[in-house]
Structure 1
């Protein structure tokens, strides 16, 4: 089972690197040649039947993951859950879904139009979590979505792929503190997401997070090619609970700001 999961995440990682070249550089910078343990991988989707959170999660449940937490983001109109594997060296997975019905009619129409293009069994396909964008979307539809929800626009443009991977600072050999990681990244020329501060969270909530701003990559829309924000790299430090085990959940207030790593500068 673990080999099956490793194969899945290797495919997800390679697809992610194709539009996030900075992640490979940062991986080498922080790992210094050693393997980097991923704290979690994040996905975005719509709450429509073919592709909702439950459908994405079914691929994970089939390879040994279990549901562990639920989160609400009222301002961004999102619901999210996270999943963990019994093998703690495998990444947690954070899946969020956009509550489509909470948006204006024109936005809903675009999103329904995208999902309508997908086969009914799309979520059952083995490569679904790294299938990318398999619908057609125009640059004008993208721009309409962008005005209402950056999240929706990103998903419309990029489809099903990891929105970000996350380095586990707890498992790095050269770094102990998130401040050290951030300083190293900035010294090397990377720009960090400063929404809500460079560091989201603290010891009190047992989780500290930071992230780069997304790389830019070209997207072929149905009418033209545009360069837009793609994916980003996150960094997380977890603190022990009273039982000595590292906190494994997420902090909604911090995650809310992490979403903004894909906002255009």
Structure 2
């Protein structure tokens, strides 16, 4: 499978299951040439057999290389980003919840979920857009959410892109992230305001914003419930001292982007 085919599958899963509004936003921002996807993000738990490295391997097999490492202490997360030598291919940002830093109760629920996985399900790359590999109750979801919105999200949705990201650099009708936000707010889309609607500055070489996650229906063992799914992000990159567009991520900004999936916002 090639890079484009994998991202096509991820996109189909994303707008079909996790973020139906993404297709509407995509059409609103669409122009004469195809929108450039700056990056996607994937979430997982830091444990075998679904740790960060397992999710990264299919991308490494397609020629991706490790970029930066990131730590989010308050959220008990670590992350890495990966990029392809061909600059037009999207970057991949993968994070994982450090379970050993979480409560015994949270760890017990996650272990119960992970034990349901057949290792054969993780062969190849299909699991990256395959959804949930386990069953869980809505009560388990709620218990996880009380401690970690991130843990609850992974438990509810499994594997798929948490978000896609429009590159603002290539948009013809908008030059600034704030202009994209204002346009979408006029169309009744909610923008994540945690840390400000625009996260980052030209000085840190990256500005970002995002919608709040769609509410999507998820099947739990005891019924269907509506919970936060995926969201759409917008990023503008600036040139570094060597005149090259910055390719990394800013921890302080990414920390607030994570909160796009918080419930009740």
* TM-score range normalised by the length of the shorter chain: over 0.9
Q: Distance in 1 between matches of 2:77 and 2:156?
A: 18
Aligned partner of 2:117 in structure 1 is: 118
Alignment of 1:189-208 (within 5 A): 189-208=188-207
**Alpha-carbon distance in 2 for matches of 1:113, 1:125:** 24
CA drift of 1:33 comes to 5.5
Pairing 1:15-54 to 2, within 5 Å after superposition = 15-19=13-17, 20-32=19-31, 34-54=33-53
Q: Taking structure 2 as the reference length, what is the TM-score of the superposition?
A: 0.97
Contact preservation (8 Å) 2:215, 2:226: yes
TM-score by length of 1: 0.97
SS in 2 for 1:51: coil
Partners of 1:123 and 1:74 lie apart in 2 by: 28
Equivalent residue, structure 2, for 1:250 = 249
Counterpart position of 1:159: 158
Distance 2:7 2:135 in 1: 26
Q: Does 1:55 align with 2:43?
A: no
Tell me which moved more, 123-132 or 135-144: 123-132
CA distance in 2, matches of 1:198, 1:170: 18
Name the residue aligned to 2:80. 81
**Structure 2 gap segments, 5+ residues each:** none
Match of 1:214 in 2: 213
Question: Does the 8 A contact of 1:17 with 1:24 survive in 2?
Answer: yes
SS across alignment from 2:131: coil
CA separation in 2, counterparts of 1:132 and 1:103?
A: 24
**What CA distance in whole angstroms lies between the structure 1 residues aligned with 2:6 and 2:205?**
29
In structure 1, distance between residues paired with 2:179 and 2:192:
16
Match of 2:2 in 1: 4
User: How far apart, CA to CA, are the structure 2 residues paired with 1:122 and 1:82?
Assistant: 24
The 8 Å contact of residues 50 and 122 in structure 1, kept in 2 or not, is answered as no
1:232 aligns with 2:236: no
Q: What is the CA–CA distance in structure 2 between the aligned matches of 1:124 and 1:172, rounded to whole Å?
A: 37
CA contact (8 A) 2:22 2:232 kept: yes
Give the Cα–Cα distance (whole angstroms) in 1 for the partners of residues 236 and 102 of structure 2. 35
The separation in 1 between residues aligned to 2:30 and 2:125, in whole angstroms, is 30
- Root-mean-square deviation (CA, aligned residues, Å) is 1.0
Deviation string 1:176-207 (CA, Å, 9 cap, x unpaired) is: 11111111111111100000000000011000
Residue 142 (1) aligns with residue 104 (2): no
Over 3 Å counting, the alpha-carbon distance change for 1:53 and 1:191 in structure 2 is: same
CA deviation after TM superposition for structure 1 residue 137, in Å? 0.5
Contact residue 177 and residue 235 of structure 2 kept, 8 A: yes
3-state SS of 1:81 partner: strand
Q: Is the 8 A contact 2:58 2:124 kept in 1?
A: no
Partner-residue secondary structure (3-state), 1:110: helix
Alpha-carbon distance in structure 1 between the residues aligned to 2:7 and 2:202: 30
Q: Secondary structure at the match of 1:8?
A: helix
- Which secondary structure does the structure 1 equivalent of 2:75 belong to? coil
